[in-house]
Amino acid sequence: MLGKEAALFVTSGTQGNAVAILSHTNRGDEIILERNSHIYLNEVGGLAVMGSLMARTIEGEMGWIKPEDIRASVRGDNIHHAPTSLLCVENTHNTSGGIPLTVDQMKADWDVAKEHGLGVHLDGARVFNAAIALGVDVKELTQYADTVQICLSKGLSAPIGSMVVGPENLIKKARKYRKMLGGGRRQVGIIAAPGIVALTKMVDRLVNDHANAKRLAEGLSEINGIKILNPVKTNMVYIDLSDLGWTGIEWTEACAKLGWKSRGTTSRLRLVTHYGIEMEDIEAFLQGIAELVPKV
Ligand SMILES: Cc1ncc(COP(=O)(O)O)c(C=O)c1O
């Protein structure tokens, strides 16, 4: 499906990114990442701890690292510098609001990376959402990465698991790292089986999640005091409740009254649509929440 030679089942997206990065790099290398990427922000600094790698971060434009910024960040052949060996990209880009990077954007980054002999790893936790939103075959996107991590457990709805795909030689190394990290399970079939359902039955329906997220954002934007923070292109809606005088706590309580679980920590939070939430649920939620928010 992703146009690669070999694949490996891993426990989680974080484990998948870790084994892929370790397979591409040597201790002391520098790798280029987007400043708000999941790998950099939310994977416990694993690249430094496990790989002895330095992170060179670049602020992207809605998650896309501009090719000229990659070019300017690659270290030359200078005895003082850590060698740059890998570029990591994320598609869809989570913290920008589930924004899909286009085929052209992926290609532009790939071209610069390859000009400089870098490997390219795609954190494609939600790359099927990107493909569906762009109306392209997912291979069009993944052709511009050597290795890809996909999550079976997010929009694709499996209870657990991710895959790492790529060329045989890198997946062979990744398998060894997976073992080192305790992810080589003899009993894996029982948790891998739902992944087959995820890949064969749950991809095309992502279009519903996207339509539901769009409607959710539209409806919430009509409520005074709720701001939508991102252009809604896939399954994510980021909202800001500060004009309501609400923090996440009031939000969570209001949702609970309506029978919904939604975890808010601050006045900015993320809503994600998924399997099991239908358009009529969105409409009912919008009606309910409109009645519960303070009038501003
Ligand atoms: C872009 C991205 N990559 C990787 C991950 C990590 O996945 P997991 O929670 O399975 O470790 C996430 C999780 O939200 C993510 O959003």
Q: What is the CATH number of the domain that holds 11?
A: 3.40.640.10
Residues 150 and 102 in one domain: yes
Kindly report the protein residue whose alpha carbon is nearest to atom 13 of ligand 1: 13
Residues 109 and 153 in one domain: yes
Q: Which two tokens stand for residue 183?
A: 């992810």
Residues 229 and 155 in one domain: no
Residues 246 and 174 in one domain: no
Helices 206-221 and 279-292, axial angle in degrees (round to 10)? 20
Residue 87: name the closest of 52, 55, 128, 118 by CA.
118
Question: Rounded CA gap, 179 and 158, in Å?
Answer: 22
| Ligand 1 binding pocket includes 18 (Cβ within 6 Å) | no
**CA torsion, ordered 244, 246, 252, 256, to nearest 10 deg:** -50
Question: Rounded CA gap, 52 and 65, in Å?
Answer: 23
For a mutational test of ligand 1's pocket, the pick from 11, 89, 93, 94, i.e. the residue with the most ligand atoms closer than 8 A to its C-beta, is 94
Residues 58 and 131 in one domain: yes
Domain termination site, one of 154, 175, 201: 201
Question: Rounded CA gap, 87 and 96, in Å?
Answer: 19
Q: Which helix (H) or strand (E) holds 246?
A: none
Strand partners, 148: 122, 165
For a mutational test of ligand 1's pocket, the pick from 10, 35, 38, i.e. the residue with the most ligand atoms closer than 8 A to its C-beta, is 38
| Ligand 1 binding pocket includes 151 (Cβ within 6 Å) | yes
CA of 5: how far to CAs of 25, 43, 92, 148, 164, in Å? 20, 27, 23, 12, 11
Question: What is the position in ligand 1's atom list of the atom closest to the CA of 126?
Answer: 1
Strand partners, 55: 31
In which band, very low, low, confident or very high, does the pLDDT at 295 lie, cut at 50, 70 and 90? confident
Provide the pLDDT for residue 231: 98
Residue 55: name the closest of 20, 93, 82, 23 by CA.
82
Residue pLDDT, tens place only, 169-182: 999 999 999 999 99
Length of the chain: 296
Residues 212 and 236 in one domain: yes
Helical H segments across 25-66, by residue range: 38-42, 46-51
Predicted confidence (pLDDT) at residue 76 exceeds the cutoff of 90: no
Residues 71 and 175 in one domain: yes
In which band, very low, low, confident or very high, does the pLDDT at 132 lie, cut at 50, 70 and 90? very high
| Ligand 1 binding pocket includes 121 (Cβ within 6 Å) | no
Residues 180 and 219 in one domain: no
Residue pLDDT, tens place only, 134-155: 999 999 999 999 999 999 999 9
C-alpha of residue 14 to centroid of ligand 1, in Å: 6
CA of 164: how far to CAs of 75, 121, 159, in Å? 27, 10, 17
Residues 108 and 225 in one domain: no
Question: What is the position in ligand 1's atom list of the atom closest to the CA of 15?
Answer: 11
Q: Sort 229 into a burial class: Cβ within 10 Å, 0-12 / 13-18 / 19+.
A: middle
Kindly report the protein residue whose alpha carbon is nearest to atom 6 of ligand 1: 13
- The answer to whether the beta carbons of residues 149 and 16 sit under 8 Å apart is yes
Question: What is the position in ligand 1's atom list of the atom closest to the CA of 17?
Answer: 4
Q: For 281, phi and psi rounded to 5 degrees? A: -65, -40
Which CATH number is 267's domain given? 3.90.1150.10
Residues 95 and 189 in one domain: yes
- The answer to whether the beta carbons of residues 185 and 206 sit under 8 Å apart is no
Question: Rounded CA gap, 289 and 283, in Å?
Answer: 10
Question: What is the position in ligand 1's atom list of the atom closest to the CA of 123?
Answer: 3
- Please give the single-letter amino acid code of residue 266: T
Helices 127-134 and 206-221, axial angle in degrees (round to 10)? 80
Q: Answer yes or no: pTM beyond 0.95.
A: yes
Question: What is the position in ligand 1's atom list of the atom closest to the CA of 92?
Answer: 1
Kindly report the protein residue whose alpha carbon is nearest to atom 5 of ligand 1: 13
Question: Rounded CA gap, 169 and 26, in Å?
Answer: 15
Q: Is 90 a member of any domain?
A: yes
C-alpha of residue 15 to centroid of ligand 1, in Å: 9
Q: Is 1 a member of any domain?
A: no
C-alpha of residue 146 to centroid of ligand 1, in Å: 19
Number of domains in the chain: 2
C-alpha of residue 76 to centroid of ligand 1, in Å: 32
| Ligand 1 binding pocket includes 123 (Cβ within 6 Å) | yes
Domain termination site, one of 201, 229, 255: 201
In which band, very low, low, confident or very high, does the pLDDT at 203 lie, cut at 50, 70 and 90? very high
Residue pLDDT, tens place only, 241-277: 999 999 999 999 999 999 999 999 899 999 999 999 9
When mean pLDDT is compared across 74-78, 128-132, 207-211, the lowest value belongs to 74-78
Question: Rounded CA gap, 45 and 236, in Å?
Answer: 25
C-alpha of residue 222 to centroid of ligand 1, in Å: 31
Domain termination site, one of 170, 201, 232: 201
Structural domain harbouring 134: 6-201
